[in-house]
Amino acid sequence: MSENILSLEQAAMERWRNGDPFGFVELSADDILYVDPGLIKPIMSLGEYRTAMAGAVGKIHYQGSEFIDPKVVQVGDAAVLTYNYRSSELSSEGSIISQTPWNATEVYFRRSGEWKIVHTHWSFIHHRVPATVEIPLPIPSTQVVYEGVLAELMQLESAAMQRWRKGDPWGFVELYAPGITYFDTGTPQRMDGVEALKVEYKQREGKIFYDVMEFLEPHLAISGDLAVLFYRFLSTWLNPDGSISHRTPWNSTVVYQRMAGSWKIIHNHWSHIRGERY
């Protein structure tokens, strides 16, 4: 199964690097949610994705295509593929002109006997928030009430984030499964395993503080015991008078698996909205 998922991805990527993005379109489900560094909000349907990819036809060409340490985790009729990727432009002599390093998350669901991508999250390795970014902010006129599994997962995320914004990262660690895979804006490659994240988070403990947290339009896709949660997130710092000092906008993909009756995070991918390479 792992080889099948990876071969699907590699075949689509071969078409992509030769100017044909429709290999990925053909692999995607009707309810695909797609995120990359060029977007201010996710693409949330196959029709929208097809339209966006039509604009890329014939415009993307590079020679070097490296899948670095791909990993597939299957949970029933769902599979989570994660890898680092390096795209390279080569000279006619074969020397490297430029390289772009990426973090990649692909979640596949088996639908009618075929594997289809339901969630894609791409980000640059080592990227920063741009100086300014304009994103549409939903302003609900009434309190947003989540239901079912979405309510369960948002309660877990909110509780962990309350601790995180006060310098305590261990709320998230308590949610992580032993074999978690992880990307964020500063990691040089995918991090594997909760023990590696404990070491990383120990360095961040007591160093992250902000005043207001905002979850924007969380979205959920479920297959059996696997749930893919996506939300945009704003971390906000306030001036002493209560006015906004600055905000940082994020994309967050969180893949949960139900284990022994509890939800545990098996994959997490954080990136800046419109994140720029250093």
Q: What is the pLDDT of residues 29-81, one digit of tens each?
A: 999 999 999 999 999 999 999 999 999 999 999 999 999 999 999 999 999 99
For residue 28, is pLDDT > 80?
yes
Q: What is the mean pLDDT of residues 143-154?
A: 95
Cβ contact 230:35 at 8 Å: yes
In the chain, the percentage of residues whose pLDDT exceeds 70 is 99
Q: Do 2-128 and 148-277 have matching folds?
A: yes
Note the pLDDT of residue 3: 80
Note the pLDDT of residue 125: 96
Cβ contact 196:202 at 8 Å: no
The model's pLDDT over 155-180, given as tens digits with 9 standing for 90+, comes to 999 999 999 999 999 999 999 999 99
Domain ranges of the chain: 2-128, 148-277
Query: Could you tell me which CATH class the domain 148-277 is placed in?
Result: alpha beta
In the chain, the percentage of residues whose pLDDT exceeds 90 is 91
Separation between Cα atoms, residue 105 and residue 276, nearest integer Å? 18
Q: Which fold has domain 2-128?
A: Nuclear Transport Factor 2; Chain: A, (3.10.450)
Note the pLDDT of residue 217: 95
Q: What is the mean pLDDT of residues 100-121?
A: 97
For residue 203, is pLDDT > 80?
yes
- Find tokens 């160093």 and name the residue: 207
Note the pLDDT of residue 278: 85
Q: What is the mean pLDDT of residues 134-154?
A: 91
Through-space distance between the first and last CA atoms of the chain, rounded to whole angstroms: 36
Note the pLDDT of residue 2: 66
The model's pLDDT over 219-266, given as tens digits with 9 standing for 90+, comes to 999 999 999 999 999 999 999 999 999 999 999 999 999 999 999 999
Separation between Cα atoms, residue 13 and residue 11, nearest integer Å? 5
Note the pLDDT of residue 1: 62
Cβ contact 128:273 at 8 Å: no
